[in-house]
Amino acid sequence: MITIENLTKYYGTVRAVDNISLQVRDGEILGFLGPNGAGKSTTLKILTTYLSPTSGTIRVNDYNIFDHSKEIREMIGYLPELNPLYDDLRVYDFLQFVAQSRQIDQKKFRSRLAELIELCGLKGVIHKNINELSKGYKQRVGLAQAIFHDPQILILDEPTTGLDPNQIMEIRELIRNLGREKTVIISTHILQEIQAIANRMVIINKGKLVVDGTIEEVMSGFRGQTRLNLELQNADETGIRQMMEHLGGMTMSEFQAGKNGITELTLEYAYKADPRAAIFDYAVKSQWKILEMNRHKISLEEVFRDLTVEGKVSNA
């Protein structure tokens, strides 16, 4: 388990990380979200012991970053945003260098290399120079170096930035496979990445933790609303409010009475609820005509925008 306690980091007078506390459980795939400059990379660099915090601490199992940095580095595989490859080496030679730097003997190197060629899909490029590879294959090589020592924890900083759609799908599938055996933390500002891979998400903004939960918890807890746009004929505001009171669990955010007895309105209700059938039945009994019924569930993009642009904080 990873435990982050009251983590703060200043660069001069700039507070890049502001009193963050959270836990990452074994076997989780955690999406670490935030806009550019939110403090994601700084937090990960502290976790991987590349940086020291100004205050607070991080523990990985029984080890803390101050007294046991070597032990923590051995438990972690790290792929930073700038992939640390040597372009003038062949893939084989680069991974051999990685193994030697990790003090992995030749016999174990050969067996582990065979595993990673299969896992990371490197069979066709293992003897090519790295500078000949596409960015997608370079990311595969970067992942291979990050997990060569078979770490318990894998930390990925913007792992699909700059990849084309096919390469993104391939890297996501590879990360999902790795997540079956390891704790994975993915730092990204790409929301689709988290929805496709992660089983829990954290959002930070301006160095502060603003939300922590599963995607379902975040969607349900933040504003918790689905919008239903209705266009009704023969319905007035009094009748609509009586319907809302009768059915319960909804609010009206917009109302506009138009010509020919046509009313346009927007109802909001809990994310998991679906009162459409009940509204239809009530409208029939009230002799209203439903000219339009259009449901819009609040998206993860809207939640992210509200939290990081408008600065709202979730109770999720």
- Residue-wise pLDDT for 282-307, tens only, equals 999 999 999 999 998 777 787 788 77
- Residue 224 — pLDDT band, cuts 50, 70, 90? low
pLDDT of residue 316: 42
pLDDT of residue 304: 81
Lowest-confidence range among 3-7, 98-102, 127-131, 191-195?
A: 191-195
Q: Given this model, what pLDDT does residue 221 score?
A: 66
Domain definitions of the chain by residue range: 2-220, 225-297
Residue 310 has pLDDT above 70, yes or no: no
pLDDT category of residue 99 using cuts at 50, 70 and 90: very high
The answer to whether residue 223 scores a pLDDT higher than 70 is no
Mean pLDDT of the chain: 89
Domain 2-220, CATH = 3.40.50.300
Place of tokens 């435990």: 3
Please report the sign of the dihedral spanned by the C-alpha atoms of residue 233, residue 234, residue 237, residue 242. negative
Q: Taking Cα atoms as reference points, which of 271, 283, 276, 210 lies closest to residue 242?
A: 283
Q: Tell me the pTM.
A: 0.77
Q: pLDDT tens digits, residue range 43-73?
A: 999 999 999 999 999 999 989 999 999 999 9
Q: Who's near 22: CB < 8 A, 6+ residues apart?
A: 4, 202, 209, 212
Q: Which residue has the higher pLDDT, 222 or 64?
A: 64
- pLDDT > 90 in the chain, percent: 63
Tokens 């807890």, located at residue:
221
Under 8 Å between Cβ of 189 and 35: yes
Predicted local distance difference test score (pLDDT) of residue 311: 45
> pLDDT confidence of 313, banded at 50, 70, 90?
very low
Q: Which residues of 278-302 are buried (b: 16+ CB within 10 A; e: fewer)?
A: ebeebbeeeebeeeeeeeeebebee
**Secondary structure class of 212 (helix, strand, coil):** strand
CATH architecture under which domain 225-297 falls: 2-Layer Sandwich (3.30)
pLDDT of 314: 42
Q: What's the pLDDT tens digit per position in 242-284?
A: 999 999 988 898 899 888 889 999 998 877 788 999 999 999 9
pLDDT digits (tens, 9 = 90+) for 162-221: 788 888 888 888 888 888 889 999 988 788 888 888 989 999 999 999 989 888 788 776
- CA–CA separation, 140 and 128 (whole Å): 13
Q: Which residues contact 90 (CB under 8 A, 6 or more apart)?
A: 126, 127, 128, 129, 130
In angstroms, the CA 141 to CA 113 distance is 11
